[in-house]
A and B are shown apart, each in its own frame.
Chain A
Amino acid sequence: MLGKTAGGLFWMFRYLERAENTARMIDAGLRISLTRSSAAESEWTAILSSTGLSETYASLHGEPYGAKIIDFLLRDPNNPASIMAQIEGARMNARVVRTALTREVWEAVNECYMVLKRLLSQPVEDRDLPRVLQIIRQRSAFVRGAKHGSMVRNDMYNFGRIGTFFERADNTARILDQKYYILLPSVRLVGSASDNVQWDTILRATSTTRAYQTLHEGETDPMAIARFLILDGRLPRSLAFSYRKIEENLGFLAEEYNARHECHALADNLCGRFKTRDMNAIFEYGLHEFISDFLRDSAALGRQIEIDYRFSE
């Protein structure tokens, strides 16, 4: 398989995952602005920050303002990381790697693109927003499902999967990075209503509210939320889960190619952090430091995968 194709699959699924996650974040922001208008602007600013696009936004539009931010994240042609741009990126990569995709996967991603191109051709009205966000998540899920149901479990499949989980872990970590301060143990002493809303936003931005409640019987506790998103191997959006998958998929590649690389060592190291440490140890080390380390090391892993599997020259 061509190195370029491996790279195309990795990026195609990263883009799709990111588009879906951006939709989740807009959804969380929307929820807050509907229920607690006083907190809304600062929430939008935080969401913008976790997408890493604050500067791009500021240079184009100046002051953060809810409706502007929504449009910016959804479809602004000047935003290279808008949902539309992600979907276009996913489809462009899908065209490059078309020979590595089943017809089902190609059609799912092409249809995703065609549907969103139409829906996002002009600003989305408030009343249509929830529906549009739902369609984005749904279309992305179709691609994942088509892949799951139709692709042979070989290197092609594994590169795509690594892209998905790499991006997902990165996203969850970025949201935690934005909100780490409300999850610190000291916050529990404060226990005000505003913190509850903040916790709620984190869960919403990762679409894990329901899962959290099921597993924690309704008790909202910041430490439990942090443990849930970082260490809980049952949650498909947690860092532990995503990295177990990355380790597994890289492992399949090592087996198929009969060769281990530098990236395997890096992934094992990252994975080990979620296996051996309990939440108290992480707090002791510093939640913010833990997440910063993670983001730095996962970026290094991404670069190493590109090198080891020759995505480009």
Chain B
Amino acid sequence: MPNTPKYFDEMNGTGSGPRLPYEAYCKWFAGENNARLLEKSEEAEALFRLIGVTFNVYGDPDATERLIPFDLVPRIIAAREWALLSKGIEQRVRALNAFLHDIYHRQEIVRAGRMPAEMIARNEAFLPQMIGVSPPGDVYTHIVGTDLVRTGDDEFFVLEDNARTPSGVSYMLENRETMLHMFPELFSKVKVRSVGQYPRSLRRSLSACAPDACEGRPRLAVLTPGIHNSAYYEHAFLADQMSAELVEGHDLRVVDGRVAMRTTQGYKAIDVLYRRVDDEYLDPMNFNPDSMLGVPGIMDVYRAGGITIANAPGTGIADDKAIYSYMPDIVEFYTGEKAILKNVPTHRCSDPQALKYVLDNLSELVVKEVHGSGGYGMLVGPAASKKEIEAFRAKLTAKPDNYIAQPTLALSTVPILTEAGLAPRHVDLRPFALMSPERVDITPGGLTRVALTEGSLIVNSSQGGGTKDTWVLED
């Protein structure tokens, strides 16, 4: 028998009655009956289907539209815990933004010897086209999703900083709507902080970053790759909620030095483009020439101050996993403070010594691709078979620069509803931060992702993960 690791359960703690933030909920839950809740669960699923909260799975022709499973037991965070997390996130977001400005300008961090020059120069996500460019309001990371995990009562770690185009916020909002719809009485018993202001905040935050060329009220648009993209629902949802146009590359062109959209009354200039298209596809004239998703010449308009692109091109370097390992230094260098939120200790496999350690301990570590996302291309050592480990060893040895490794964390659990009652499953948390020249605005809570398979540590929706409503309690 292998040792079963002891995980921190957020509802029950060490096991003697519910933890404080869950008390009111558990009292309510005790009066409920499992069969009724399971029925509610089906009701929620039907609701999601009707609304069309679906995502597409690449390479799965039979299931072009799937639901992300929703678990109706909320994940609850105390006001005190949230105060610390949001402070830590704000600090981190500001540091990332300053870092991005720096690496595309004077690279003080390299001059100061705090980061090797090749970390930037050799990084695939570094965009030379952004050198010397200052985005409107000097904001690079308009929207950041910071992935957090918890391992104990006061132990939080940042797993990743998603600074390109973090997704999932529509689930945060729809999950809350669904809970309000299904359990209105619960919200009169437990005082939960609202998340519904997010679209308005997003609109305000993006508008505050409008370029100099903007006349009058900023005109916003969301750029989507189209209805076949896995996150199309979210793109449409956000455009709708903040009264922006939902555009695709073929709706746009450069007209008189502005990026303009084809309307029923001719071309009209866009001031702020919230793009959900990767840098590489943004501009066939400046990047990938085969891209059909972008706008030819948009980068030239951008550099001339004719449009705001959110997030700014080139921010991808900040969610690179090798850069991640420098985050404690980055935070300290730009804010002059110690990082409030901890990093997971990270081995950069580009370093021969670290590589040796990683290769010797593959069965205990989590190894990730530096540019990977969505839970693809990673190895979870303790959960992998010998064969999988050996296959991964070959990939790692062939291209060590491409990987980082981290200890396998004992991720906290929160119960989900099963036919046999409550059962603990591992979770993570992605809060969403909005940055404008004036402020960093963090919606209380975020998206809780949950691994639905017992014991699994992979919470990604593309790998069978689900989501939960996340409650931050009122003080």
Chain A residue numbers with a CB within 8 Å of B262 are: 2-4, 310, 313
Residue in contact with B251 in the complex, picked from A2, A103, A107, A257, CB distance below 8 Å: A2
Which listed segment binds A: B45-53, B144-152, B313-321, B439-447?
Answer: B45-53
Shortest B49–chain A CB gap in Å is: 7
Interface size on A, residues (CB 8 A): 25
How far apart are the CA atoms of A111 and B236 in the complex, in Å? 18
Contact B52 A95 (CB under 8 A): yes
> Quick one: given A2-B263, A3-B263, A257-B265, are A95 and B232 in contact (CB under 8 Å)?
yes
Residue in contact with B264 in the complex, picked from A2, A99, A110, A114, CB distance below 8 Å: A2
> Quick one: given A106-B52, A111-B50, A313-B250, are A98 and B240 in contact (CB under 8 Å)?
yes
Chain A residue numbers with a CB within 8 Å of B263 are: 1-3, 310
* Those 4 A-B pairs whose CB atoms lie nearest each other, nearest first: A99-B240, A98-B236, A309-B264, A3-B262
Contact B264 A107 (CB under 8 A): no
> Quick one: given A2-B251, A95-B52, A99-B245, are A310 and B264 in contact (CB under 8 Å)?
yes
- Contact indicator per residue, chain A 97-140, by CB within 8 Å of chain B (1) or not (0): 01100010011001100100000000000000000000000000
Residue of B nearest to A7 (CB): B264
How far apart are the CA atoms of A98 and B227 in the complex, in Å? 10
What total of A-B pairs shows CB separation below 8 Å? 60
How far apart are the CA atoms of A253 and B248 in the complex, in Å? 24
For residue B163, CB closer than 8 A to chain A, the reply is no
- Contact indicator per residue, chain B 250-282, by CB within 8 Å of chain A (1) or not (0): 110000000001111110000000000000000
Chain A residue numbers with a CB within 8 Å of B247 are: 2
How far apart are the CA atoms of A184 and B178 in the complex, in Å? 60
> Quick one: given A95-B232, A110-B50, A111-B50, are A3 and B264 in contact (CB under 8 Å)?
yes
Q: Which residues from 6 to 64 on chain B have a C-beta closer than 8 Å to any C-beta of chain A?
A: 49-52
How far apart are the CA atoms of A133 and B76 in the complex, in Å? 49
For residue B239, CB closer than 8 A to chain A, the reply is yes
Shortest B156–chain A CB gap in Å is: 36
How far apart are the CA atoms of A2 and B270 in the complex, in Å? 12
Contact A98 B264 (CB under 8 A): no
> Quick one: given A2-B251, A4-B248, A98-B240, are A110 and B261 in contact (CB under 8 Å)?
no
Shortest B367–chain A CB gap in Å is: 38
Residue of B nearest to A103 (CB): B51
For residue A96, CB closer than 8 A to chain B, the reply is yes
- Contact indicator per residue, chain B 462-474, by CB within 8 Å of chain A (1) or not (0): 0000000000000
Shortest B153–chain A CB gap in Å is: 42
Interface size on B, residues (CB 8 A): 21
Residue in contact with A96 in the complex, picked from B49, B227, B266, CB distance below 8 Å: B227
Contact B51 A107 (CB under 8 A): yes
How far apart are the CA atoms of A158 and B120 in the complex, in Å? 53
For residue A224, CB closer than 8 A to chain B, the reply is no
Shortest B243–chain A CB gap in Å is: 9
For residue B246, CB closer than 8 A to chain A, the reply is yes
How far apart are the CA atoms of A6 and B266 in the complex, in Å? 13
For residue A259, CB closer than 8 A to chain B, the reply is yes
What would be 26 A-B contacts, judged by CB atoms less than 8 Å apart? A1-B263, A2-B247, A2-B261, A3-B263, A4-B248, A4-B250, A4-B251, A5-B245, A92-B227, A95-B227, A96-B227, A98-B246, A99-B236, A99-B239, A99-B240, A107-B50, A110-B50, A110-B52, A114-B49, A114-B50, A155-B264, A253-B264, A259-B265, A310-B264, A313-B250, A313-B262
Q: Which residues from 267 to 284 on chain A have a C-beta closer than 8 Å to any C-beta of chain B?
A: none
How far apart are the CA atoms of A2 and B236 in the complex, in Å? 14
Residue of B nearest to A94 (CB): B52
How far apart are the CA atoms of A1 and B240 in the complex, in Å? 13
Residue of A nearest to B226 (CB): A96
Shortest B266–chain A CB gap in Å is: 7
Contact B232 A99 (CB under 8 A): no
Chain B residue numbers with a CB within 8 Å of A309 are: 264
Residue of A nearest to B47 (CB): A107
Q: Which residues from 1 to 52 on chain A have a C-beta closer than 8 Å to any C-beta of chain B?
A: 1-6
How far apart are the CA atoms of A111 and B262 in the complex, in Å? 31
Chain B residue numbers with a CB within 8 Å of A4 are: 248, 250-251, 262
Shortest A152–chain B CB gap in Å is: 13
Chain A residue numbers with a CB within 8 Å of B264 are: 1-3, 6, 155, 253, 257, 309-310
Q: Which residues from 154 to 185 on chain A have a C-beta closer than 8 Å to any C-beta of chain B?
A: 155
Most buried by A among B49, B239, B247, B262: B262
Residue of B nearest to A308 (CB): B264
How far apart are the CA atoms of A114 and B239 in the complex, in Å? 25
Residue in contact with A95 in the complex, picked from B236, B239, B250, B251, CB distance below 8 Å: B236
How far apart are the CA atoms of A103 and B241 in the complex, in Å? 12
Other A-B pairs, 9, CB within 8 Å; known A1-B263, A2-B245, A253-B264: A1-B264, A2-B261, A4-B262, A98-B236, A98-B240, A99-B239, A99-B246, A309-B264, A310-B262
